[in-house]
Amino acid sequence: MLELADSHGHLTMVFEGGEMKSAPRAPSAAELKELVARARDAGVTRILVPATDREDQRRAVETAEAHDGVYAAVGFHPHEAKEFDEDRDLRIFEELCASKKVVAVGEIGLDYHYDHSPRDVQKRVVAAQLRFAKERNLPVLLHNRLSEADLLPILAAEYPGTPETPRGVFHSFCADVATGERALGLGYLVSFSGMLTFKTADNVRDAAAALPLGSMLLETDAPYLAPAPFRGKPNESSYLPRTAARLAEVKGVSVEEVARVTTDNFRRLFRVD
């Protein structure tokens, strides 16, 4: 069986009744156990749970501590940046980082599609979180939606790396090839989600074809972005093999090669076994 790593799965969120008609809720302990078990049965041996806000990051850490092979990140999503209090929240980050299961800062970044938080606030908050990550030598999980013109210079100023010293990953990559090349040059990997399987996502497949497999991760972004044929339904980590198979087709390599390289990259970036 393939061994895969889900670099971005929101195990703190599930949709009621298997439908995505309302806001997600926190899963029960039994639901979490089932999600992790199904993932393992599918060969997904590692899952990194990103955080979106103050309460979600606490749930992420609790989830990671309760399950083998599950890890957590701390951070504020750009949608929630307006709620970020630098003094208070960096102290909370520090507290949560006492857990050995916290291996990254994220999900952080910029989102210029929805603009749920003002752009100047988003930029200030992502810079503060990048500085926190740099001080602790933690990789970051980056959200980028139509914002690379601002995000890339912030990364260059606050937390640059090199291909040999990666600093983080652009999650669910859907920007153009030039953005990907600039990200890789700054020491950031790119991660591909179920979007790779969407019929209309030629731009995502073009980027995956052009960028090197050695700089890639896989993810679900569960419970969002379920791959075909589950598009529009809640996603989960057990669906990751479908994205791995599509990436193998795009790259013209075996799915075993995709699994090996992306899992090795997960272990290298997040410094886990």
CATH number at residue 259: 3.20.20.140
Q: Could you tell me the pTM of the whole model?
A: 0.98
Indicate whether 134 pLDDT > 90.
yes
Classify burial at 118, counting beta carbons within 10 Å of its beta carbon; exposed 0-12, middle 13-18, buried 19 or more. Answer: exposed
Structure tokens at 86: 């630098």
Structure tokens at 68: 């083998």
CB-based burial, 32-56: b 16+ in 10 Å, e otherwise: beebbeebbebbbbbbbbbbbbbeb
| Helix extents (H) in the chain | 29-41, 54-66, 86-96, 119-136, 148-158, 177-185, 202-210, 240-251, 255-270
Distance of CA 203 to the CA centre of its chain: 19
Q: Which domain holds residue 164?
A: 4-270
Domain count along the chain: 1
Longest dimension (CA), the chain: 48
Q: 141-159 pLDDT, tens per residue? A: 999 999 999 999 999 999 9
- Strand, coil or helix: what is 35? helix
Least confident of 14-28, 106-120, 258-272: 14-28
Say what the pLDDT of residue 255 is: 98
Residue 74: pLDDT band (50, 70, 90) is very high
